[in-house]
Amino acid sequence: MPLQIFQITFPGTALDPQRFFLQVTGASIVLAATDELDLNGATTQFSNDAGTSPVTVPVVAPNGYYNFYVNGVMQEAGAYTVNADNTITFNVAATFTVGTILILEAVEVSAT
């Protein structure tokens, strides 16, 4: 039997992260469970990596994920839901005091 050489290829992945930032100013943001935080609201205007607003959060399903950080600490995925209308629904009560930094990260994963 002659020698056969097989080329083994390994699929790769590409990550496309987008981040959205807000530093709470003026007054604290108080949310009850099931309340929504509007990323383009009058007092909750998030900006993107380039510093521009308003923002459009990408829908990353089915191959992506969202991370939400409060002062640099990642929050549990079950504590919030990111919606297609640029809002975050909180599944727990939350109070964000003045000076708190909120970051939403949307990561789209694709094959290369």
Q: Which two tokens stand for residue 57?
A: 């959060």
Q: pTM of this prediction? A: 0.86
State the greatest distance between any 2 C-alpha atoms of the chain, in Å, as a whole number.
Answer: 78
Q: Could you tell me the pLDDT band of residue 51, with boundaries at 50, 70 and 90?
A: very high
- Tell me whether residue 2 is in a domain: no
- Tell me whether residue 44 is in a domain: yes
Spatial CA neighbour of 17 closest among 100, 107, 88, 85: 107
- Tell me whether residue 4 is in a domain: no
Number of compact structural domains in the chain? 1
Q: What pLDDT, on the 0 to 100 scale, is given for residue 9?
A: 80
56 is in which domain, residue-wise? 14-111
- Tell me whether residue 54 is in a domain: yes
Spatial CA neighbour of 73 closest among 96, 39, 91: 96
Alpha carbon of 53 to those of 16, 39, 79: distances in Å?
Answer: 19, 9, 25
